[in-house]
Each structure stands twice: as structure tokens, then as C-alpha cells.
Amino acid sequence: MADVKIAPSVLASDFGKLADEIRAVDQAGCDWIHLDVMDGHFVPNLTFGPPIIQSVRQASAKPFDAHLMVSNPDRLLETYQKAGADIITVHAEVCDHLDRTLAQIRELGCRAGVSLNPHTSEDCLRYVLDRLDLVLVMSVNPGFGGQSFIPTVIEKIARIRDMLGDRDVDIEVDGGITPETAPAVVQAGATALVAGSAVFKGGTVESYRQNMQAIRDSVKDL
Ligand code: DX5
Ligand code: ZN
């Protein structure tokens, strides 16, 4: 399973030197940069928004994977695109008009993603399958890094893989991903793995490289 993508979540990085941390995971060989946007409303925590994304955009040429944990994503979609997001993922739980939101993300030239909280059924994807580029399956309750993986999502990933058929849609899994939990989600059909605390340990490019390699090694023989 050599082509699983690794998306380090900068939530676990040192925000005091965010651009340097992004450069470091880029050099260490990540595939995407996962940006956790939190609004203090949809989730209890607050992080950053478009101005900060824009200010670190020059730190890496790799795709910026913006995970919007916000209650009203529609009104700022274009702002995120202009700030440099390549993938924009919204939460199904807050989108009254999910079909339209996904169409708008693609019209902006970005890849369109939907995220599902651990308790949210995959049924809401059924009629937007052709609008999707990515499904972000939350394997923790969003809002904080360093939480424990919730194993019930493994079955959900497999169901989503079935629903997608032969569509070219990534299934990305987010929360509690480590070399121990990665194999089960990849086996179920995940093609991209978000990892925060499992990657940003050690504080150096070399340690980030080793941390990502440990995740890649755990899934390479599947
Ligand atoms: C949680 C975020 C995750 C988080 C993952 O709300 O969406 O991206 O940073 O962190 P770990 O890998 O530490 O569970
Ligand atoms: Zn995330």
C-alpha cells in the first residue's frame, strides 16, 4: 500500500514557528499539509483562519488540505481558496445545502471534501458522490489533537469505500492515527492519513521523517 498519502496536522506543531514547521514536514517527505481551522463554535477550540494560511503558503509547494471545523463554511470558501487552500473540506453536520457547497468549492478550482464526525452516518454522502474529491472520516471528536482513535469508524470507512465504487475519491482519516492504528484504516479503504501528534514529535526534520516512515512501514505490506 505504498501510495497512502500522509498529511501532517499542524495542530500538533509549534505555532510559534509555524512556517518553519511546515517547511520541516515538507522536507521530511509529507504528501499534504493538513490545516485544522477551528472556530470556537462548531468545535470548542480556536486555531487560525485565512490570514495565517496565506502567510505560511510560501513555506511549501505541497497541497494545502484545509479542514474547516466551522459552523458557517460557505461565506468564506473563496477566501480560503485565495489564501492558498488546494483541498477544502467542510463538515456535513453544518451544511444545509451540501450539494451546493461542494459545487462551489470545485468552481473555485479546489478539490471538494466532506468530513463526518464519528457519530455521523455515511448516508449523507449518497446523493453527492459525484461532487466529491475527498471524504474525511473523523476517528476522534474534532477539536483537539492527541485523542484516542475510535475503532467504530473502521466499518464506516469500508462502507464509504463500497459507496464510492470506482470513483477517484480519497478517503482520508483524521484522529489518533499512529503506526498501530493506521493498518486497520488502510485495510478498510483509507488512501490518506492525517497525523498530528504521531508526526510532530522530536522537533527535527529527521525525527519527522522517521515518524512518517513508521506510519508508512506499518501499512506497506497490506
Ligand atoms: C482534530 C483535528 C486533527 C488533529 C489530529 O480535530 O482534526 O487533525 O490534529 O491530531 P492527532 O493526530 O494528534 O489525533
Ligand atoms: Zn483535521
For ligand 1, mutation pick of 18, 90, 136, 194 (most atoms within 8 Å of CB) = 194
pLDDT tens profile 39-53: 999 999 999 999 999
Angle 35-91-97 from CA coordinates, rounded to 5°: 135
43 Cα nearest atom in ligand 1? 6
CA distance linking residue 132 with residue 84, whole number of Å:
20
Locate 141 and state its grid cell: 471528536
> Average pLDDT of the chain?
97
For residue 109, how far is its CA from the centre of ligand 2 (angstroms)?
A: 21
Question: For residue 188, what is its C-alpha cell?
Answer: 478498510
Given a contact cutoff of 8 angstroms between Cβ atoms, the answer to whether 157 and 131 are in contact is: no
CA distance 68 to 169: 19
Is residue 2 predicted with pLDDT exceeding 80? no
Mean pLDDT of 187-191: 98
Give the domain CATH number at 154.
Answer: 3.20.20.70
Cβ–Cβ under 8 Å, residues 181 and 157: no
The number of the ligand nearest the C-alpha atom of 177 reads 1
β-strand partners of 121: none
For 157-174, what is the mean pLDDT?
98
Closest by CA position to 160, among listed 104, 217, 115, 206: 115
What integer pLDDT is reported at residue 1 of this predicted model? 54
**Ligand 1 pocket residue status of 174, Cβ below 6 Å:** yes
Which domain covers residue 89, as residue numbers? 5-219
Give the whole-angstrom CA distance, residue 162 versus residue 172: 15
Tell me whether residue 39 is one of the annotated catalytic residues: no
How many domains in the chain?
1
